[in-house]
Amino acid sequence: MTDFDEQEFEAFVAATHDLFTAMRRNRGRLARTESNLSLSQLGLLDAVATHGPMLVGQIAGHAGVSGPSATRMLKQLEQNGVVVRQRSTQDERKVLVDLTDQGRDLVERQRNALRAGQRAHFAALSPEQRANFVDVLQQMATMIGQWSEFLIEDGTWPE
């Protein structure tokens, strides 16, 4: 393990927290601005747009929300004409959720708005900064994915 200064580590922790907060806040603002949806609702729609028709439990897992919350939000989205429920052709006991044309349009508008902002910021970086930034973001995604492995079974961090 590489030696590091405690002050450097605290700066890393603060920067990581700031990154999470900024991403969540700004994606939520963009969702409301572009589609008038909550961040959680957008997460559900984004999962279906990416993976196709899915069961509610699968959608909830991809979106990072509980099953009951997903069910409640999907019912509301169905009433608003954004999603539709269909019986599975393979197993009639299963109900799949898919996007309507309106739902696809909402997701597409949100994705396009996000990409426009990303494109502007990416263009402002030098080629070297772009390569470094992508590398660091990929490392961060891997690290963040591994952090939950450090939790003890009861959800607490080891001493």
Q: At what angle do helices 39-51 and 101-123 cross, to 10 degrees?
A: 100
Tell me the β-bridge partners of 158.
Answer: none
- Can you tell me which residue has the tokens 């539709």? 84
Q: In the chain, pLDDT over 70 holds for what percent of residues?
A: 86
Please report, in angstroms and rounded to a whole number, the separation of the first and last CA atoms in the chain.
18
| Whole-number Å distance between alpha carbons of 18 and 92 | 46
Say yes or no to pLDDT of 24 above 60. yes
Average pLDDT over residues 124-147: 89
pLDDT at 56: 94
In terms of residues, how long is the chain?
Answer: 159
**Burial call 31-51: b when 16+ CB within 10 Å, e when fewer:** beebbebebbbbbbbbbbbee
- Can you tell me which residue has the tokens 């009861």? 154
pTM: 0.69
